[in-house]
Each structure stands twice: as C-alpha cells, then as structure tokens.
Amino acid sequence: MKQGYIKTAEEIAIIRQGGKILAEVLKQLLSAAQAGVKTIELDLLAEKLIRQSGGLPAFKNYADSPSETPFPTTICASVNDQVVHTPAGDYALKSGDILSIDIGMKYPATDDGLYTDMAKTKAIGSVPQLTRKLLKVTAKSLELGIAQVKPGNTIGDISRAIQKYVEDNGFSIVRQLVGHGVGYAVHEDPRVPNFYDPVTANFKLEEGMVIAIEPMVNIGDYRIEVLDDDWTIVTSDGSLSAHFEHTVAVVKGGHKVLTAL
C-alpha cells in the first residue's frame, strides 16, 4: 500500500470521483432514514449502492489491529447519545431521534483504489430547538474548519476554529476522537483534532494533502465511553451528540471539498 501525506493531482481527481459517489449515496441514505426504518435496512441499501457504483465499503470488516473485533457493517449508524462507530442493527428509528451516518468507501474497488470518508447527522421527525441548534452548530463548525484549509496554514488553525465556534455556542467538542489523513487508507496520519492540541497544532498543511475533518459535538460534557460491543461510542453523561465530516484536499491557494455533491 502506498503511504505518505501528499497525493498526486491524478489521485485527488480519483478521490473526488469517489467522493461525489459517496455524497450521493449518503444523500439517498438520509432521505431513506425515516421513523420506523431499522438502521440495518439503511446499511443494506448503503452497501448495495456502493457496490453498484464500483466501490467497496471501507468500514465493513475494518480493524485497527488484528486483535480488534472487526467493524461489522458498511455504515456507522449512531443515534442520540451515541457519538460515532455504532454498528447498524435492529434499532428502528423513531420521531425525535437524531441519526448520525458515517460512511467510507474505497473507489475504485481495486487494490489501488482510494478512500473517502464523510458523515452527517439528521433529525428524524420533529426535535426540540436545542437539538436543532446542535445539528446546525456542528455543521457550521465543520464549514469553519474547512475554511482554514490552505497551504501554509496549520492543523491548529482548523482545530481552533472548530473548538471556538462550538464552545462559544455552549456545546463541547469530543477530544478522544479526531479527524485524520485519508486516501491510501481510510485512516492515515496526520491526526486532525477538533480542539486545540499542542502536539499537532504546528503541523503545516501542504498542497496535495487530503484530510478528513470531523467535528463530534456534544450538548453536555465532552467525555465519551466505549460500549461492550467494543465499537459504539456514547457520551459519558448521556447527552446528545452530532457528527459532520468531509474529505478535503489542500490545493493551491485553498482547498477543495472532495465529498461534496
């Protein structure tokens, strides 16, 4: 497998093709996500759409190390106080829930295929105003993070922009999980924290880098826990959590969102 921070223009063009497909798949999943629908039904639709498009699910069977339980499904379908990494299953959505779908794809489905990663949170039916604010603030914090992406800026510029906006709005940003490089693998260096972290703050962005920026925002405390399935992450205080993510390339003079429609 190839490694390195910098992707060629040709590689970025392929990641963009994959990202466009992935954005279309996620759009269809979100419109299918209605009260009464089980998350496993969304998962089956996701895998079908990805394979029909010539890609492969990136999360299904994913493990950080051979000793880890492989992730069982194509999408992460995290509801309410679930932050991320929830396997799809028999849970049936109900009005008042919020659902975060995180989805990754390898495209094309060959050994040298390239990876994209994105996420969005949707309200199912009607939700209280504070919940609507959580979704709006999280989506906007991603935009503000992306706006900092250009050659010469640092990862700290992204982190600071996201953290400030989220905290100014009275919410907290998850710290134990962070964004990441993406392309040759679904998770690559560098780490892209959504809060100011001195370890990565001075890392300079360069033309050709591709990163996934993914703020996870809680209404309450920033702390999180892993459930017994070894995957599902929940907020420690049970408060609601939202997640928005795009794969973004650093290009001359700025950035390009590769997972836009």
Q: What is the pattern of x (binds Mg ion, CB under 5 A) and - over residues 177-216?
A: -----------------------------------x-x--
Write out the binding residues for Mg ion, residues 17-76 only, by CB under 5 A.
Answer: none
| Min dist. Cβ of residue 119 to Mg ion (A) | 7
Structure tokens at 2: 């190839």
| Min dist. Cβ of residue 214 to Mg ion (A) | 5
Give whichever of 156 and 215 is closer to Mg ion, judged by the CB atom: 215
Place of tokens 């250009």: 150
Among left, alpha and beta (phi > 0; psi -120 to 50; other), residue 179 is beta
Give whichever of 55 and 238 is closer to Mg ion, judged by the CB atom: 55
Q: Is 180 helix (H, G, I), strand (E, B) or coil?
A: strand
Give whichever of 34 and 84 is closer to Mg ion, judged by the CB atom: 84
Rounded distance between C-alpha atoms, residue 44 and residue 40, angstroms: 6
| Min dist. Cβ of residue 117 to Mg ion (A) | 4
Rounded distance between C-alpha atoms, residue 102 and residue 75, angstroms: 6
| Min dist. Cβ of residue 102 to Mg ion (A) | 7
Q: Does 97 bind Mg ion (CB under 5 A)?
A: no
Q: Which stretch binds Mg ion (CB under 5 A): 80-88, 109-117, 151-159, 236-244?
A: 109-117
Give whichever of 105 and 212 is closer to Mg ion, judged by the CB atom: 212
Cα–Cα nearest to 177, from 160, 189, 163, 195: 195
| Min dist. Cβ of residue 16 to Mg ion (A) | 17
Q: Does 117 bind Mg ion (CB under 5 A)?
A: yes
Structure tokens at 148: 């900092």
Q: Is 203 exposed, middle or buried (0-12, 13-18, 19+ CB in 10 A)?
A: middle
| Min dist. Cβ of residue 125 to Mg ion (A) | 27
Rounded distance between C-alpha atoms, residue 259 and residue 117, angstroms: 8
Give whichever of 157 and 214 is closer to Mg ion, judged by the CB atom: 214
Q: What is the DSSP string of 39-74?
A: HHHHHHHHHHHHHHTT-EESSTT--SSTTSPPP-SS
The residue ranges that bind Mg ion (CB under 5 A) are: 117, 212, 214
